[in-house]
Amino acid sequence: MATLRQNTSVATKHKLSNTLRNWLPILHSSLGDLNEIMAPFVEANPVVEIKSGYEEEFAKKIPKKILSGQVSNSRTQQIEALTIQSRSLYEILDEQIGKPLFPTPLSQKIASFIVENLDENGYYEGDTKSFCGVNAISEDEFERVRLRFAFIEPVGIAAKNLAESFLFQLDNSDISDEAYPFCVEIINSLEDIHEFSSKEHFSEAMRVLSSFKNPPAIEYQEDSAQVVPDLMIFFNDEDEIEIKLNDEYYPIIKIDTNYAVEHEFITQKIKEAKSLVDALDMRRATLYKVGLMIVEYQYEFFVGGQIMPLTLKTLADEFGHNPSTISRAIANKYIACDRGLFAMKEFFTTAIDEDVSNAAIKEFLIGLIKQENRQKPLSDMKLLELIQEKFKVKMVRRTIAKYRKQLNIAGSSERKKLYHLH
């Protein structure tokens, strides 16, 4: 990687500025989009030639230890081999059509019909009346089942329109109890959203609404596309963890220096080409450093444990950038490891405070349910009390209910009924 010396010379500052200007869009793009991002620059520069990293089969570039799934690691079980194709929306949904949300054959039939009648954006557009007529059920019964989709991933799927999709997502957001009803009001009047700008909680409502997926199936609209990881993390034959950049998949930049360099235009184009090379090197170095931090903070995950608390602010402080810049930097980036293929953003959990992540709380919640008295299951209020006592954090009951629904855990009264059936 080219060293970027910092001094007061105008020429060096200009080079640094050009490199950074190229670096940000290159860093923010996925590995698969690099060629497209650089295309305008290449077309305008006669001294540059790019060889695409896609000209070879990607599978040949994955370490065999990952691809085969035969990872020699006594600390973890052999896990399913890595797939480089993203799962479709329908595969994701099909895995969730079952107990406890859809416990009966009829509810599963309704859920399957709903999934089969999603449009390309993830909205439900089926003929409810005809289905209900054929199956001799009321439309109210059908709707009760459809509304359970508010508790499955991706949140917002199977809503009838944008407003309902946002309401589904609102119940799974981190909005405060005070701002919740105000946000509902905004969602029901989205066309008049600016009329609410002077109201209390408006900034919080906007923060939450801006995080919603619109449309709900946006992440799956190109689910046939190949997912290419930037990093590969695996244990070597010495049982030591290794971080490997997917370097061979990067486009290769060749600079033709046969031109007459004394020509000012050509000299400038060569400088720009070298700046692009520097930007790619900075991208590699940055993502490798991200990988090092992920391994440092999430080591337990790579040996079969849970994802631990790690906020974007921690990473931003390390790099000296704004958290929003880091958020864009890890977007659409993936890590391949012996546990599968994971989006980088999955390693950064939403923190309740500096030391407690919602992932840790959910894990504790699951443990409480497993050990509860089946004759007297724990209520959400009791779960809240135990969690606050364990983690020394302040929460509200609605958050516990939200976590429970995300984990597909029924309410205490429903669990009691289920326990009596077994």
CATH number, domain with residue 180: 1.10.10.1330
Instruction: Judge if 232 and 201 occupy the same domain.
Output: no
Q: What is the mean pLDDT of residues 333-360?
A: 71
Query: Which residues, at least 6 apart from 348, have a Cβ–Cβ distance to it below 8 Å?
Result: 310, 311, 312, 315, 330
Amino acid identity, position 56: E
Domain contains 73: no
Amino acid identity, position 187: I
Domain contains 367: yes
Provide the percentage of residues in the chain whose pLDDT is more than 90.
9
Q: What is the mean pLDDT of residues 32-42?
A: 76
Contact criterion met (CB below 8 Å) for 87 and 223: yes
- Enter the tokens of residue 121: 């954006």
Q: What is the pLDDT of residue 132?
A: 93
Query: Residue 317's Cα: distance from chain center in Å?
Result: 21
Instruction: Judge if 216 and 96 occupy the same domain.
Output: yes
- Enter the tokens of residue 259: 């031109």
Which position has the token pair 């289905």?
131
Instruction: Judge if 233 and 179 occupy the same domain.
Output: no
Query: Residue 412's Cα: distance from chain center in Å?
Result: 31
The pLDDT confidence band at residue 9, using thresholds 50, 70 and 90, is: very low
Q: What is the mean pLDDT of residues 62-73?
A: 46
> Which of these, 53, 51, 52, 46, lies nearest to 273 by C-alpha position?
46
Where among 220, 254, 279 does a domain terminate?
220
The pLDDT confidence band at residue 414, using thresholds 50, 70 and 90, is: confident
Range of the domain at 338: 10-63+226-307+317-347
Domain contains 201: yes
- How far, CA to CA in Å, does 418 sit from each of 98, 104, 226, 267, 272? 14, 12, 42, 76, 67
Instruction: Judge if 196 and 135 occupy the same domain.
Output: yes
263 vs 21 pLDDT, higher one: 263
- CA 385, CA 393: separation in Å to the nearest integer? 10
**Is the pLDDT score of 336 beyond 50?**
yes
SS3 assignment, position 243: strand
The pLDDT confidence band at residue 82, using thresholds 50, 70 and 90, is: very low
Q: What is the mean pLDDT of residues 271-299?
A: 86
Question: Backbone phi, then psi, for 26, in 5-degree steps?
Answer: -70, -40
422 vs 280 pLDDT, higher one: 280
66 vs 400 pLDDT, higher one: 400
Q: Is 421 exposed, middle or buried (0-12, 13-18, 19+ CB in 10 A)?
A: exposed
Where among 188, 220, 252 does a domain terminate?
220
Instruction: Judge if 265 and 376 occupy the same domain.
Output: no
Query: Residues 177, 398, 213, CA angle at the centre, nearest 5°?
Result: 75
Domain contains 134: yes
Q: What is the mean pLDDT of residues 12-37?
A: 64
Within 1-128, strands assigned E span: 48-51
- CA 166, CA 170: separation in Å to the nearest integer? 6
Span 213-270, pLDDT tens digits: 878 887 776 544 457 788 888 888 888 888 988 877 788 888 877 765 567 787 788 8
Provide the percentage of residues in the chain whose pLDDT is more than 70.
81
Domain contains 75: no
Instruction: Judge if 331 and 252 occupy the same domain.
Output: yes
The lowest-confidence range among 217-231, 239-253, 279-293, 378-392 is 217-231
**Residue 378: CATH number of its domain:** 1.10.10
**Is the pLDDT score of 83 beyond 50?**
no
- Enter the tokens of residue 201: 């909680």
The pLDDT confidence band at residue 1, using thresholds 50, 70 and 90, is: very low
- Enter the tokens of residue 134: 């054929």
Instruction: Judge if 390 and 417 occupy the same domain.
Output: yes
Instruction: Judge if 124 and 213 occupy the same domain.
Output: yes
Length, in residues, of the chain: 422
- The number of domains in the chain is 3
Instruction: Judge if 286 and 373 occupy the same domain.
Output: no
Where among 172, 197, 220 does a domain terminate?
220
369-387: b or e for each residue (b if 16 or more CB lie within 10 Å)? beebeeeebbebeebbeeb
Domain contains 68: no
351 vs 380 pLDDT, higher one: 380
Q: What is the dihedral of CA 174, 180, 182, 187, to 10 degrees?
A: 70
Instruction: Judge if 275 and 381 occupy the same domain.
Output: no
Crossing angle of helices 34-43 and 264-297, rounded to 10°: 170
Instruction: Judge if 149 and 254 occupy the same domain.
Output: no
Query: Which residues, at least 6 apart from 103, have a Cβ–Cβ distance to it below 8 Å?
Result: none
Strands 340-343 and 334-337: antiparallel
Q: What is the pLDDT of residue 347?
A: 82
Domain contains 251: yes
> Which of these, 375, 376, 384, lies nearest to 402 by C-alpha position?
384
The mean predicted confidence, pLDDT, of the chain is: 76
Domain contains 2: no
228: number of CA atoms within 13 Å, CB side? 22
Instruction: Judge if 109 and 194 occupy the same domain.
Output: yes
